[in-house]
Amino acid sequence: MSNRYAVILAAGQGTRMKSKLYKVLHPVCGKPMVQHVVDQVTKLRIQDLVTVIGHGAEMVKAGLGDQSQYVLQEQQLGTAHAVMQANKILGGKEGVTIVVCGDTPLIRAETMESLFKHHEELKAKATILTAKIDDPTGYGRIIRNENGLVEKIVEHKDATDAEREINEINTGTYCFDNFALFEALKNVSNNNVQGEYYLPDVIEILKKQGEVVSAFQTEEFKETLGVNDRVALAEAEWIMRERTNELHMRNGVTIIDPANTYIGADVEIGQDTVIYPGTMIKGKTVIGLGCEIGPNSEIDSSVIGEETVVRQSVVHKSSVGAHVNIGPFAHIRPDSDISDDVKIGNFVEIKKAIFGKGSKASHLSYIGDAEVGSNVNIGCGSITVNYDGKNKFLTKIEDDVFIGCNSNLVAPVTVGKGSYVAAGSTITKDVPGDALSIARSQQVNKENYVQKLNLKK
């Protein structure tokens, strides 16, 4: 088998997106388009992966990191000019190079592998991945001769009316003999409607030199969508969502209403978990077996243990154990670490807090910058007072503590193991273990006081 290389085109501004954000960074199911492409390409056996960057170069580089090598295309003179920039890294190497556009986020590794195989079997110098689609508007068309062999690609804008009738399109993915590619690129001109150096022109150049040029038509036309505007972006999102949801369902996850469930491309979900409508699961979230998530919940970049329930709640960048009950209407903010068997109930906000096994905050609490031990009960309306307007301070609640309702724990403060805090207390000093702490004014009942005021006639 020959050496394999890849070039990903990601330098364009994406004018048709009408956006400040560079096109290939627009997310599809929460992940930038170019990241989708790179993730698929890296599944193939590739020696050198080169991404051509230009607009938003630093952002693209920051996102992809060391998954790729980079070449800069300072001026966007067209897709052929873009590939030319990779000459610095790939020029003169023996092998096959796959070129993929950074705006085709749905393309899968399996399809690219089939393209490689087809190309290698035919010993072609170039093989285009093509697809037949209902509405080919905007795509390059595949022009075949009377024997059905590929002659060239004509861009939509340069096509005659008759050529525009052709519904076999260039998906923007190709395999080339690496050496032949960089030789042919030298002969590409910008003599066309857009005044750009078109990569598809390489096909005609090689064909005219008598080389073997082939097309591999994929049945998976849904993979080949090129995202040039927001309408196509929404379409890609829809297809990707459907694909992701189907994968989870096939793996044993129940999704009550797939059309109203939004699962990111990198999410893992255990068997027998049920996802209720209106749920969004994002980032590199991992959900265990047998959980119940939703309805109307958002989980981002978090780990959730087995048989945990998250109802009508938000969990961000946190870790949640097994058999935990969250919600309805709870908010777990970043850097929280919730152990097994915990209950976080109605209208409770947790931020940067550790919550020990079996502890509970069942109603109307704010627990921020806190370390809560195990078997702690935090009564309704109790809060940690973590902020003095300038700095944040830590509240420590040790194991087996009972915090009475509506207490304020003014940090920094420690409530010792096994102690009780009386309801309505404002605790400003440490509480020793096993103590009862009451920090509120004493109740005074003034007998018959109302009559003395003589307010009642």
Residues designated catalytic: 363
Q: Which two tokens stand for residue 210?
A: 């008598």
> Distance (Å, rounded) from C-alpha 424 to C-alpha 162?
82
Binding-site member from 50, 101, 159, 205 for ligand UD1 (CB under 6 A) = 101
**Whole-angstrom Cα distance, residue 79 to residue 236?**
22
Residue closer to ligand UD1, measured from CB, 240 or 303: 240
Q: Between residue 103 and residue 132, which ones bind Mg ion under the rule CB under 5 A?
A: 103
75 has binding-site annotation: no
SS3 of 285-341: the string is CEECCCCEECCCCEEECCEECCCCEECCCEEECCEECCCCEECCCCEECCCCEECCC
Binding partner at 314 among Mg ion, ligand UD1, none, C-beta below 5 to 8 Å by kind: none
Q: Which stretch binds ligand UD1 (CB under 6 A): 90-98, 192-200, 390-398, 445-453?
A: 192-200
Closer to ligand UD1 by Cβ: residue 11 or 205: 11
Is 11 near ligand UD1 (CB under 6 A)? yes
Does the annotation place 400 within a ligand binding site? Answer: no
Of 116, 51, 92, 52, nearest to 183 by C-alpha is: 92
Helix (H) / strand (E) element for 372: namely strand 366-372
Residue 82 near ligand UD1 by CB under 6 A? yes
Is 10 annotated for ligand binding? yes
Q: Taking the complex as a whole, how short is the minimal distance between the CB of residue 146 and ligand UD1, in angstroms?
A: 23
Site size toward ligand UD1 (CB under 6 A) is 32
Quote the least distance from Cβ 197 to ligand UD1, whole Å.
Answer: 8
Report 125-144 residues binding ligand UD1 (CB under 6 A). 139-140
Report 214-233 residues binding ligand UD1 (CB under 6 A).
Answer: 226, 228
192 labelled ligand-binding: no
d(CA 205, CA 186): 10
> Binding pattern to ligand UD1, positions 21-50, x when CB under 6 A?
--xx--------------------------
193-201, 279-287, 329-337, 367-375 -> range binding ligand UD1 (CB under 6 A): 193-201
241 is in an annotated binding site: no
Looking at the DSSP assignment, which residues form a beta bridge with residue 143? 152
* CA-closest candidate to residue 320, choices 328, 311, 308, 312: 308
Other C-beta atoms closer than 10 Å to the C-beta of 383 total 21
262 known ligand binder = no
| From candidates 19, 42, 228, 319, binder to Mg ion by CB under 5 A | 228
Among 75-83, 206-214, 320-328, 380-388, the segment contacting ligand UD1 (CB under 6 A): 75-83
Q: Is 85 annotated as a binding residue?
A: no
**Minimum gap (Å) between residue 95 Cβ and ligand UD1:** 22
Report d(CA 139, CA 165) in Å as an integer.
12
Q: In the structure encoding, which two tokens stand for residue 336, read together?
A: 């929280």
Helices (H) and strands (E) in the chain, counts: 10, 39
368 binds Mg ion (CB under 5 A): no
- Rounded Cα–Cα distance for residues 424 and 414 (Å): 17
DSSP state of 370: E
What residues make contact with Mg ion under the rule CB under 5 A? 103, 226, 228
